[in-house]
Chain A
Amino acid sequence: MNRHPFVRLAGPLLASLTALLIAAGSVVAHGPDPSLGGVLWAQDQVLFFGWKAGQVPPSWMIPAIDAAAGDASLTRSARAATFARPVGSAASLIAYGEPTGCSAAGIACFDRSGAPNSFRMWFRAHGYVFDWGTLRWCQGLTTIANGCFDAENVALDEFGHVEILNHHVNLADGSDYLDAVVQTVARARPDAGWNVHAFGRCDTARLQLEYDRLSPASLFSPCLAIPTTMSMAASATSLSAGGSVRFTASLVTTSATANGALASDPLSARTVTLQRRTSSTGTWSSVGTMAQGTAAGTYALTVSPTATYEWRTVFTPVAGDGAVGSASGIVKVTVSACSGSGCPLQAVS
């Protein structure tokens, strides 16, 4: 996992060290959104919500909230909860207008302390007057104007909270604002991010850490740096030239506690390359890309070597995959000379 841009204090010594780092401007990195803590929803749990009696959102706002529920469900990139509004009653309620559970400056707020059974969400009313100004929901304007807040974006932020997400910790200059929808500062039109309708990579990073990925083939959030480990086995370590050997590899995340729900996860649909070299001091060369095995996170390739080599498998993540590459241990396969007719030079199947 990447470091957070804020500091964690383990003691006075560390505090002093981090203070120096801050002073030097060197503590600058992304991290997944912090977790709110508390009870998680079940994986893929469907959270049904409805409107609080007497505080039903106006007709122009309902589509935005419903759309945000869909945004959260479709872009969670994890087995986090999904959201749906049934025709009938629901355990979770969303309210518009007063009273709310929001603070004096808050335009929207939530309560997930009812997990894993229910949640609450509130939206201030269009036209509500704060110390900082008058709230304008963009959807409530006849003609959209700067300074309004996109209800769908704000609702997505609230659904993110309901999942488990705390506000993202931005870089000091806020340049990473688009890495998360769940932000300490809600942005109005036209500032960057005001109308984003999908979780950001550091939102999904936390969701993956808490709820796991959708499948072994799913990419890890690029806000993460999940270490992996590769193991490899050969069907034979000694054979005659012309014979074949089947290499099998297994690719999983490490079991580190920091990996959360992603620990010991198999990685499928990745590019795993079989490499060889002639000696322990030689240069590795790629022989081929291994095919995906039947079990999740497994790969295989059969080759017919004509000489003795050292072999290994290498996982190189594609851009956008928050997994860290790894290589297997080395297996030496000794090939004895082939004599007689029919000895192939080399074959790869």
Chain B
Amino acid sequence: MGEPVHFRRLSLATFTIFAAGIAAACGVGPATTAETRSPTPTTMPTIAPTVAPPTIEPSPEASPTPGPIALPAAELVMPAGTVAGALGSYVVDGRGSDSPWLPFDSLPRVDVAATPALTVGFVDGAQIGEWSAVIADAADTRGVKQRGIEGVTLEPGGDLLVAGPLPAGRWVLAVRLFRADGRGDGVTYWALMVR
């Protein structure tokens, strides 16, 4: 029976993401960030956990796929560390999952000062090909009134996206990042409290 194993590993991976978010909400101390990731120090998150890139095993019932698949989850890269988001819908290597809009109260929370920009990248550091970034008010629990973010740019290294500035308020930030190698993309969410 391959699927139970598959599910357990998937749960472990996703649990890692959400555990990071829970840890964030509980104020767990910061951890290190990747050496190559050094956003402009204009923000100060309340927490900054670090997580390993989540993976899932390829379905044993489908055609063989070499090695575990890295989920296209993203993280906020802050001066004090990284904050993993909650992965919503994604596709990767011919597999995928569909989710509703993830509401504010279910997400890893990030408290930031009014800032020129937020920096986002794939958890596994993959190069970013394409992207979209939207926000919705925290009260919009279904994401039906989302709107785009101005001034979204890709850093010269190609692995970090800079988005913002964001207006003060409580927002759900949803960033869809496409891997530059074409293997897939995912929408990652955070609950932002912009002061």
Instruction: Give me the interface of A with B, judged by CB distance under 8 Å.
Output: 4-9, 12, 15-16, 19, 22-23, 25, 34, 36-38, 93, 95, 98-115, 117-120, 130-133, 149, 154, 157-158, 161, 166-167, 169-170, 172-174, 183-188, 191-192
Contacts and interface: CB of A to CB of B under 8 A. Distances in A.
A191 B154 CA distance: 33
A146 to B, nearest CB: 10
Given A12-B156, A105-B86, A105-B88, A117 B142 contact: no
Contacts of A37: 94, 182-183
Interface residues of B, number: 65
A172 B134 contact: yes
B114 interface: no
B142 to A, nearest CB: 6
Interface in B102-138: 102-103, 106, 128-132, 134
Interface of B: 3-4, 6-8, 10-11, 14-15, 17-18, 56, 58-59, 61-63, 65, 71, 86-91, 93-103, 106, 128-132, 134, 142-148, 150-154, 156, 158, 176, 178, 180, 182-185, 187
Interface centre among B63, B94, B134 (most CB of A within 10 A): B94
Nearest to A35: B182
User: Main secondary structure on chain B at its contact with chain A?
Assistant: mixed
B103 A132 contact: yes
Nearest to A106: B97
B16 to A, nearest CB: 10
A99 B94 contact: no
Given A131-B18, A173-B147, A166 B98 contact: no
B150 A25 contact: yes
Contacts of A183: 89, 98
A25 B10 CA distance: 39
A183 B176 CA distance: 12
By Cβ-Cβ distance, the 6 closest A-B pairs, closest first, are: A172-B148, A99-B7, A106-B97, A104-B14, A113-B94, A109-B97
A5 B132 contact: yes
B78 to A, nearest CB: 22
Contacts of A15: 153-154
A102 B158 CA distance: 29
Contact of A104 (B11, B142, B143): B11
A167 B91 contact: yes
A296 B90 CA distance: 41
A131 B151 contact: no
Contacts of B187: 184-185
A185 B17 CA distance: 19
Given A22-B151, A191-B142, A120 B88 contact: no
